């Protein structure tokens, strides 16, 4: 079970044991992490599940695909480490992943 840490905008850390194959968004919603709205339910169609991948993980998580990148243009304060959390799947390789929730969505 990989570990995932989601840091809310106020600094609250949610340290979670998550299922391989689950998305960061699913775990954020399940654990009521504030600031991850996920209006479209994970269809890569809303950009309200925007997170920043921690700098130390950004390379490992990798870049968004074209569809996600287009959607990210609608995200509030997009940065080079921005991803839509519904498109980031947890794997054993990502054990220990840290992501940060932005100040607000869209």
Contacting positions for ligand FES (CB under 6 A) = 25, 38-40, 42-49, 71, 84, 86
Q: Let me know: does 56 contact 71? Beta carbons within 8 Å.
A: no
Minimum CB separation of residue 100 from ligand FES in Å reads 16
Minimum CB separation of residue 41 from ligand FES in Å reads 6
Beta partners for 30? none
Closer to ligand FES by Cβ: residue 16 or 86:
86
Closer to ligand FES by Cβ: residue 9 or 11:
9
């Amino acid at each position: 079970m990989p570990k995932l840490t989601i840091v809310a905008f106020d600094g609250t850390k949610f340290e979670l044991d998550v299922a391989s194959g689950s998305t960061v968004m699913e775990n954020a919603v399940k654990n009521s992490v504030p600031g991850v709205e996920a209006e479209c339910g994970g269809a890569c169609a809303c950009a309200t599940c925007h997170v920043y991948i921690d700098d130390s993980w950004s390379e490992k998580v990798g870049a968004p695909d074209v569809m996600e990148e287009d959607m990210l243009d609608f995200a509030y304060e997009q940065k080079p480490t921005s991803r839509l959390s519904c498109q980031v799947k947890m794997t054993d390789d990502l054990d220990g992943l840290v992501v940060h929730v932005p100040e607000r969505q869209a």
